């Protein structure tokens, strides 16, 4: 079955040179695609997790009694929301990357402590996190004041109220907007190509640079893979939203 599959695409490339699906019948190119998909999924998951954590913590800090702390959070939001994520990525990697220490694993080669993958995760997480802070803030503001007052009357601290009362309710209200932002984040991971992170776009470009006849097939594969990843993300978030829904709350 596998031999017939590879032979079909090998023959297709011979008959129609502009549609050379070389990654379906050449092992080395197939390996590049699988590596690219793994890095894309890893980047997406890591950035999703860290951006949500930033959003949750930032939204809590926005309610701090310290004016300086609130100003720092607001400055972070304005900085990362109002500058292009591509520029942020280049700044983190080329500017801040020059200031980070290095180590030598073999005594000769100097390797930075934070790799290009690490900087991509940091940059994209901060970018999406700025939007998540505002998303969770709007969710917090939707929580009835009477609910917070009831929790306060029970002797709960501000952190306990946020963790056990406000955040669970605010999270449910925030899920639709959070879904949109996280989907956008998955698509934004393609920008890691600019700093040589070997994700799917990077691998696809290396293939069609070596084999120009594989350009259209590689672009088609990129489209299909990202439609699949975003589709899985949206499906999972929608199911999660329905599962967490509280009847009558938020209407």
For residue 248, the model assigns a pLDDT of: 65
> Per-residue pLDDT averaged across 227-247, rounded?
88
For 136-147, write each residue's pLDDT tens digit: 999 888 888 888
Task: Specify whether the CB–CB gap between 250 and 178 falls below 8 A.
Answer: no
Residue 244, pLDDT above cutoff 90: no
Residue 197, pLDDT above cutoff 90: yes
For residue 105, the model assigns a pLDDT of: 75
Q: Which residues pair with 102 in a beta bridge?
A: 112
Burial class of residue 218 in the structure, from the number of CB atoms within 10 Å of its CB (0-12 exposed, 13-18 middle, 19+ buried): buried
Residue 7, pLDDT above cutoff 90: no
The more confident residue out of 151 and 17 is: 151
**Helix or strand or coil: residue 102?**
strand
For 43-91, write each residue's pLDDT tens digit: 999 999 999 999 999 998 988 888 999 999 999 999 999 999 999 999 9
For residue 249, the model assigns a pLDDT of: 61
- Residues with Cβ within 8 Å of residue 89, at least 6 apart in sequence: 119, 120, 123, 124, 191, 192, 194, 195
For residue 120, the model assigns a pLDDT of: 96
Cα–Cα nearest to 183, from 49, 83, 80, 48? 48
Q: What is the pTM of this model?
A: 0.89
Average pLDDT over all residues of the chain: 89
Residue 251, pLDDT above cutoff 60: no
pLDDT band, residue 173 (cuts 50/70/90): confident
pLDDT band, residue 9 (cuts 50/70/90): confident
């Amino acid at each position: 079955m596998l031999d017939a599959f590879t032979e079909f695409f090998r023959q297709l490339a011979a008959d129609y040179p502009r549609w050379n699906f070389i990654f379906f019948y050449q092992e080395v190119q197939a390996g590049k695609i699988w590596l690219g998909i793994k890095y894309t999924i890893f980047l997406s998951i890591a950035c999703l997790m860290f951006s949500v954590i930033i959003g949750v913590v930032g939204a809590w800090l926005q309610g701090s009694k310290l004016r300086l702390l609130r100003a720092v959070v607001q400055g972070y939001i304005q900085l990362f929301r109002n500058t292009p994520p591509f520029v942020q990525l280049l700044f983190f990697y080329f500017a801040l990357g020059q200031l980070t220490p290095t180590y030598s694993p073999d005594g000769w080669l100097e390797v930075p402590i934070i790799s290009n993958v690490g900087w991509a995760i940091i940059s994209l997480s901060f970018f999406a996190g700025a939007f998540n802070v505002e998303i969770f803030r709007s969710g917090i503001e939707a929580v009835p004041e009477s609910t917070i007052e009831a929790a306060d009357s029970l002797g709960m601290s501000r952190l306990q109220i946020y963790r056990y009362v406000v955040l669970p309710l605010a999270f449910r209200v925030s899920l639709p907007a959070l879904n949109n932002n996280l989907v956008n984040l998955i698509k934004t991971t393609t920008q890691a190509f600019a700093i040589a992170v070997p994700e799917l776009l990077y691998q696809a470009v290396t293939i069609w640079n070596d084999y120009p006849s594989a350009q259209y097939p590689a672009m088609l594969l990129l489209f299909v893979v990202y439609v699949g990843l975003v589709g899985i993300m949206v499906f999972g978030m929608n199911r999660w939203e329905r599962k967490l829904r509280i009847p009558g709350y938020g209407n």
